[in-house]
Structure 1
Amino acid sequence: MKKTLCYISFFLIIASFTSSCNVMKRVGKNEHLLTENTVIVDDKKDKTETVSNLIYQKPNGELLGIPLRLHIFNLARPNIDSILNDKYRNPENPRTGQKKLLSLKQYEALIKSKKGFNTWIKKTGEAPVIFNETKAEKTAAGLKKYFYSKGWFNVKTSYDVEKDSTQRANVTYNVVRGNPYYLDSIATNIASPVVDSLYQSKFKKESLIKTGQQFDELNYTKERNRLTTELRNSGLFHFAQDYVRFDIDTILPGDIVNTDLIIENRAIRLEDSISRVPFKIYKIKDVNIYSDYKYENRNKAISDSVQYKDYNLYSYNKLKYRPKALTDAIFITKGQIFRDLDRTRTYRYLSELKAFNYPNIEYIENEQDTTLTANIYLSPKKKYDLGFDFDVTQSNIQTVGFSISTGLIIRNVFRGAETLEISGLGAIGASRDASDSKDQFFDINEYGGNLRLSIPRFFVPFNTDKIIPKYMSPSTRISIGATSQRNIGLDKQTLTGSFNYNWFPSKMVTNNIDLFNVQFVKNLNIDNYFGVYQNSFDRLNQIAQNINYINNDSDLSIPQGADDFIDDVLSNNTSLNPDDDSYQDVSNISQRKDRLTEDNLIFSSSFNYVKDRRENLFDNDFSILRFRVETAGNLFTSLSKTLNLSRNSNGKYEIFGVPFSQFIKTEIDYVKHWDLGKKNVFAIRSYFGIAIPYGNSDNIPFAESFFAGGPNDIRAWSAYNLGPGSSLSTNEFNEANMKITLSAEQRFNLVGRFNGAIFVDAGNIWNVLDNVEDEQATFNGLNALENIAIGSGFGLRYDFSFFILRLDVGFKTYDPSRPIGTRWFKDYNFGNAVYNIGINYPF
């Protein structure tokens, strides 16, 4: 990390003077620096990314018109080895006297570090691009090939080079396309009757090449791939892409093309010749599953075998899996035709079980009856895996903390490929008050455990295959956990439990249902509330001093003095009136304290939908849609009414002495990225969330509320520091039950692995349809949208390949907490900026 920070500092320093450097420093006497490429297509400039990518030689990259990487490269010494040898290995040079101060190993390390820094400059920089005639010719040929592939068969290309006296060169590529060619007719010549029948009856209608469309070579490639996939999923075991080809006839009057689709018979290679035979449809004769295959077992005899439905299961030792657990993961079925898709799905499902190493599927051909025997070899992972993790931490609560966690994974617990995970956590720490000799040094502790059972199917008493087929990889997860914290905030005990279903309707879509999710939180030390929420106490203390409730040189005691003051104010036993702002502040502090110190019981169900169009980790043109809806408390309400349970003094039903929460919560999150080429990406995010209490609740539990600000949100405000609405809150944690966020970000490359960004974030949180009465914090209609906060700024990112280290600087552009008329650009400076450090992109 220190090394990376040094490199960042070096980059910032050299950026200040590179504009005055000589870019021609490393250009030879008879060489020309390439400064510009221009592509003219039919007398018009073409700046599209597709055409730009066809150019073999491009000028040095620029930042704000400055070839920054070229300047960096010019700082490197080209003959560094001879310089270092002369400077540090020359006996006549006084600098070699450093050898007397350093060991030989240290001295060589010093020389190596200087060479390494010079190498880093070279790698970070970019060598001058010297015009190359051969690459210009290749570019012209590449342009011709590209436009030819798109149907301009008479295309002509050339290039002109303009060289000046300053050893700079500009290249202009000229493209004259002529008229495009269109498909006039498509004929077929399919040798195998079974292939011809399949094509005419099932595949012809979906063809990607059609009469009347402009010729495009890419469509032919896609059609070849489509036919190969369809035929291999129709029983043609021996079929391959090479059997499909197209003959294109362009020697016709007019600008038209005739196409012949040719699919040949199967080729069988003999010793000295090749014979052609028609393709045949293969069916699966037998499916054999070897449940504990290892290479060293290949010559051993099978000791256990079971026939289950249409599957044969074999084991070299005793079979440790229930047959159904394995056959549910196999999509290859006896009596069905061969399909590549079944093999792919089987590989995926077996991998998702996490019970086996990568499986092997082998087909053995039975030529006499055109059938296949499928052998599936499974190599089980170890039944038990044990892991440990040790951490040392520090925070604003504790000066030092030590934690150890352990996890045990047990596979195939009930012989159905289930996985049981048992984890535990134990931690101790010293708070900032532990330095007092009266306190025990390690006065903070936390411990807990969790059990999670993963079942590779839906755990239900009925068959769901018709609703959710097994190719959607249905699974069930059951978990239960408990934690206890002491001297951390209010101290708490937490019990959690969940029953979850998960499945994948398609490659892009993930569905998730929490049949139930239970959270029980019990606060153990509510007397420490004002010790944790110090800002609330400071405001309360200030009000007490202002009205002479206490002396100016004294403070309210915690908790008794603070609680008594709140009771006296709200009982009208002080000089404050309900119309006073200070009275309202005390009321708000009281409501917040009651809410954050109450015990919570949440019994909820939820549905999650995610549609992710991202092809892979490097895809920069995609969208992601996330939708979630959650309801809580409905079952408990029905039971309470049915059992005619009594209510507490606030009219709320209680279970185990705790009022349960009842609400409905919805979240919609949409992210879209556009790849603009040349490592430029434009990204947007829109988010809306709302949680509405009803029935047994007047507000939303803190854990289910929304907050704003932070490195992945409105970056001009720190986390929990924005809102609600236009209120100027001093609370440590500002939260509410409705949230809107809109963000836009332009990302671009700076130098090498350094990337930059400029961004605008907008949004806020509000209270709506709950018991909060502060007008500044509530959403009372569309007029409340004028309180949407706006932040803007810039960011610097360093790409480590496997993750992105991100620094974002956010400025308060529009601050709704300020009076109207003074909200725009009032704190728009580095002194009031918020500096966010994050990992990976915010959206």
Structure 2
Amino acid sequence: MKKTTLLHIYICFTLIVLLLPGCSVNKFIPEGGYLLDDVKIESDNKEIKSSQMNQYVRQSPNAKWFSLFRFPLYIYSASGMDSTKWINRFWRKLGDAPVIYSKDAAQETQQEIEKAVRNMGYMGAVVDLKEEAKGKRMKVSYDIHSGSPYIINNIAYDIADSKIRSYLEADSAQTLLHEGMRFDVNVLDEERQRITQYLQNRGYYRFNKDFITFQADTMLNTHKVDLTMELASFQIRKEDMPEEHRQYRIRNVNYILDADFAVPSAQALQSFDSVRSGDVSLFYKDKLFLRPKVISDYNFLISGNLYRSRSVQNTYSALSRLSILKYSNIRFNEVIENDSAYLDAYITLSRNKNKSLSFEIEGTNSAGDLGAAASASYTHRNLFKGSETFTIKLRGAYEAVSGLEGYTSSNYMEYGVESSLNFPEFMFPFLSSDFKKRIKATSEVSIKYNWQIRPEFERTLASAAWSYRWTRRGKANHRFDLLDINYIYMPYTSPTFDDYLDRMDEVNPLLRHSYEDLFIVRLGYTYTYNSAGGNTMTTANRNSYSVRFNIEEAGNLLYAFSRLINKKPRYGEAYQLANIDFAQYVKADIDYAKNFVIDERNSLVFHAGLGVAVPYGNSKSLPFEKLYFSGGANSVRGWRVRSLGPGSYRGDGNTIDYVNHTGDIKLDLNLEYRTFLFWKLNGAAFIDAGNVWNIRNQGIQSEGVFKFNRFYKQLAVSYGLGIRFDLDFLILRFDGGMKAVNPMYTGRDRYPIISPDFKRDFAFHFAVGYPF
């Protein structure tokens, strides 16, 4: 792009920034009204954080981009008063209407904050509302004066039901209440909920927290409270006679396939065929679409056991792993026999579509080279009537490779086929059904074949894998790759590429190993934890963090077996499998991301990633696919993908040189400020730092080797802006990064942030999803 064009862009952007704030907001402010300019909450007590009280604010000022500029307000103000004109409607749709200060909303906020603080135990708390008008703008502040807290002096229990009283006495160590604590109504409510869940897991099906109340007696002229917890007897209506709470046991468990009832009953099922598996009865019409044992193995409602709400949730969770099911619904009928209470369970299962066919067309961008890909997938969700999911996918891709010299072709083509079979249980010999129930894992067997045709070479990758996945409490995810076999075959390398490898033998003698036939037999484990779980609302409104840890090893068993047979390799310097070298290495990496929510439209995200891979034994270097690289849409965004490092290695500028910009160690540090713009657009400002290094000198300049006393001096730094299109089902991301610190250079060129060159220092990235 020409510098004059860039100058025009910068001038236009600057004019927009300067002129938009000048658009008059006052024309939309009614006579005697004010634009709400600022809202502050201040507290005289460190235990009462202002951020906790933001949820009670009933009226907030207009949103700011990056918490600095009220561009949405200025965009709205650019419209005229005539709402019938399309241009005015357009500006108003993009922008935010001015927030006109409401006295009623302010007073409601004052009352809600005061109520919240008093519920925290500060019964004498007062909140002052202060208004500061300047011209047509209003600033509002809420000053919290908490006073002294009320303290629980004594706790007593009034529980007439002897059986429940014995349960709670046995569970007293888990109580949230203790003498000397602040009289916090929120904690009292948490204790009510805790007791309710505890009793519902011990047969009390009809129990709810409304049966639990607290009586607080304050002492005269003191801040001490005598607290009494009362547990009311069971009563549906006021006119009913009070009675003890009943414990319910599960009597009959009935699964109904492909049918639904408003009120399930034994009479309604008389026209259905039935079969029994264990303690479970299955009702169906025509034929069963699931094997009976599959359903009984996924059932946690056991006949004869006390009712447990946890068993209901476990059954829902287990059934959700069956992809053949669209949804499941559990209902209970109460049965009273001889003063004993029972529950008949009716679980209705609705079937999903067995088979599906899908097509995808996508654009690709590899190091600036554009291309296209197409794929077709076939899925069968119930292959053996056990909700086994079989998938096969065919994929083809084309890309025009630029910057290659000495080649007759500049086309990159890729053909692939992959297939997988997923079992909704832990598939392994000699495992009991009870163990499979507890582990709640899915198993997958997969095979892949990929054929790459590049101008420089042809490469074939074939793999087969056996893996397990399971989730704990909706937040922690585990993946264990029991066996992953990869075979890399290089049927052709061009003479030009061979010459390049010959030249690189002096610079990087281990590079050639990355383009030879190779076996990789690995196992690995991945742990992922997200504090927000699958709750997107929690992620949007509350601070959250995620951790990902991965470790894998390859070749150890093959190496031990080879050493057992032969003390030394028969040919060359490495042991072989079927006359092909096999890789031996260990690799571990960890990622941490923290999301700080500033307000509903702004957040700050920090990310740190570290990876280390060590080849040893049978390998002098890592396989090319296992090497780390830096730069690109998810790393240091001031560099193109595979164009940074290792260390301060500069390279020769050749397109093929991307194979040298790899390493055994990787470090990424990212800070990104995210803000909502308008419509479906979000913006971001980011700073990235990172690089890759080698553990040992591989012929490249020694600056590529990791050293503790200099690695921090070799960190590359970039900054930039990004736009995200949030389409709900996916996010399209466009990021533009500029180099700030370039370790490949010395002197003035090392700090392009001082004298930027757009052509040299800018990198554009397109990706799907957030970078971290």
TM-score, length of structure 2 as denominator length? 0.87
Q: What is the CA–CA distance in structure 1 between the aligned matches of 2:46 and 2:277, rounded to whole Å?
A: 71
Q: Aligned AA for 2:552?
A: E
Q: How far is 1:796 from its partner? A: 4.1
Correspondence for 2:166? 197
Q: What is the CA–CA distance in structure 1 between the aligned matches of 2:417 and 2:46, rounded to whole Å?
A: 69
Show the 5 A alignment for 1:122-201. Answer: 122-163=92-133, 166-201=135-170
Asked if 1:73 is matched to 2:76, the reply is yes
The structure whose Rg is larger is: 1
Q: How far is 1:198 from its partner? A: 1.3
Change (3 A) 1:160 1:196: same
Asked if 1:360 is matched to 2:329, the reply is yes
Contact 1:162-1:171 within 8 A present in 2 as well: yes
Asked if 1:245 is matched to 2:213, the reply is yes
Asked if 1:279 is matched to 2:259, the reply is no
Q: What is the CA–CA distance in structure 2 between the aligned matches of 1:835 and 1:632, rounded to whole Å?
A: 36
Q: How far is 1:671 from its partner? A: 1.5
Q: What is the CA–CA distance in structure 2 between the aligned matches of 1:842 and 1:392, rounded to whole Å?
A: 18
Asked if 1:17 is matched to 2:19, the reply is yes
Q: How far is 1:766 from its partner? A: 1.2
Change (3 A) 1:266 1:601: same
Correspondence for 2:316? 347
Correspondence for 2:377? 406
Q: What is the CA–CA distance in structure 1 between the aligned matches of 2:463 and 2:531, rounded to whole Å?
A: 33
Q: What is the CA–CA distance in structure 2 between the aligned matches of 1:344 and 1:812, rounded to whole Å?
A: 51
Contact 2:506-2:699 within 8 A present in 1 as well: no
Asked if 1:617 is matched to 2:536, the reply is yes
- Structure 1 residue aligned with 2:506, among 587, 592, 597? 587
Q: What is the CA–CA distance in structure 2 between the aligned matches of 1:189 and 1:784, rounded to whole Å?
A: 66
- Structure 2 residue aligned with 1:715, among 626, 632, 637? 637
Asked if 1:261 is matched to 2:229, the reply is yes
Correspondence for 2:474? 507
- Structure 1 residue aligned with 2:740, among 798, 809, 813? 813
Identity, in percent, stands at 26
Q: What is the CA–CA distance in structure 2 between the aligned matches of 1:596 and 1:282, rounded to whole Å?
A: 66
Q: What is the CA–CA distance in structure 2 between the aligned matches of 1:662 and 1:652, rounded to whole Å?
A: 10
Q: Aligned AA for 1:517?
A: D
Contact 2:460-2:489 within 8 A present in 1 as well: yes
Show the 5 A alignment for 1:321-720. Answer: 321-368=290-337, 369-389=340-360, 403-413=374-384, 415-425=385-395, 446-463=414-431, 470-486=437-453, 490-527=457-494, 530=497, 562=499, 587-588=506-507, 591-592=510-511, 594-615=512-533, 616-618=535-537, 619=539, 620-644=542-566, 647=569, 649-720=571-642
1:292-347 CA-to-partner distances (Å, cap 9, x unmatched) read 54669966634341342x33334434445443322221111122210111111111
Question: Which secondary structure does the structure 2 equivalent of 1:740 belong to?
Answer: strand
Change (3 A) 1:839 1:320: closer
Question: Which secondary structure does the structure 2 equivalent of 1:370 belong to?
Answer: strand
- Structure 1 residue aligned with 2:750, among 813, 817, 823? 823
Change (3 A) 1:12 1:288: farther
Change (3 A) 1:647 1:689: same
Moved more, 639-648 or 291-300: 291-300
TM-score, length of structure 1 as denominator length? 0.80
Contact 1:717-1:812 within 8 A present in 2 as well: yes
Contact 1:397-1:488 within 8 A present in 2 as well: no
Q: Which runs of 5+ in 1 are unaligned?
A: 1-7, 85-114, 531-558, 570-584
Change (3 A) 1:126 1:398: closer
Correspondence for 1:233? 201
Q: How far is 1:46 from its partner? A: 9.2
Contact 2:733-2:769 within 8 A present in 1 as well: yes
Q: Aligned AA for 1:370?
A: A
Contact 1:623-1:671 within 8 A present in 2 as well: yes
Q: What is the CA–CA distance in structure 2 between the aligned matches of 1:721 and 1:826, rounded to whole Å?
A: 22
The structure showing larger relative contact order (alpha-carbon pairs under 8 Å, at least 6 residues apart) is: 2
Q: What is the CA–CA distance in structure 2 between the aligned matches of 1:214 and 1:47, rounded to whole Å?
A: 16
Contact 1:321-1:412 within 8 A present in 2 as well: no
Q: How many residues align?
A: 741
Change (3 A) 1:290 1:697: same
- Structure 2 residue aligned with 1:305, among 270, 275, 284? 275
Change (3 A) 1:772 1:506: farther
Q: How far is 1:653 from its partner? A: 2.0
Q: What is the CA–CA distance in structure 2 between the aligned matches of 1:403 and 1:489, rounded to whole Å?
A: 23
Correspondence for 2:669? 742
Q: How far is 1:714 from its partner? A: 1.0
Q: What is the CA–CA distance in structure 1 between the aligned matches of 2:390 and 2:183, rounded to whole Å?
A: 57
Q: Aligned AA for 1:612?
A: N
Correspondence for 1:90? none
Correspondence for 1:221? 189
Question: Which secondary structure does the structure 1 equivalent of 2:194 belong to?
Answer: helix
Q: What is the CA–CA distance in structure 2 between the aligned matches of 1:785 and 1:161, rounded to whole Å?
A: 51
The root-mean-square deviation of aligned C-alpha atoms, in Å, is 3.6
Question: Which secondary structure does the structure 2 equivalent of 1:457 belong to?
Answer: coil
Correspondence for 2:58? 56
Change (3 A) 1:614 1:38: closer
Correspondence for 1:761? 688
Q: What is the CA–CA distance in structure 1 between the aligned matches of 2:486 and 2:605, rounded to whole Å?
A: 36
Q: How far is 1:798 from its partner? A: 4.7
Q: What is the CA–CA distance in structure 2 between the aligned matches of 1:340 and 1:44, rounded to whole Å?
A: 39
Q: How far is 1:199 from its partner? A: 1.4
Q: Aligned AA for 1:150?
A: M
1:398-457 CA-to-partner distances (Å, cap 9, x unmatched) read 9976744231315142x4332222333356789999xxxx99x9x976544322111122
Q: How far is 1:705 from its partner? A: 0.6
Q: What is the CA–CA distance in structure 2 between the aligned matches of 1:379 and 1:756, rounded to whole Å?
A: 42
Q: How far is 1:178 from its partner? A: 2.8
Correspondence for 1:727? 649
Q: How far is 1:791 from its partner? A: 2.2
Correspondence for 1:206? 174
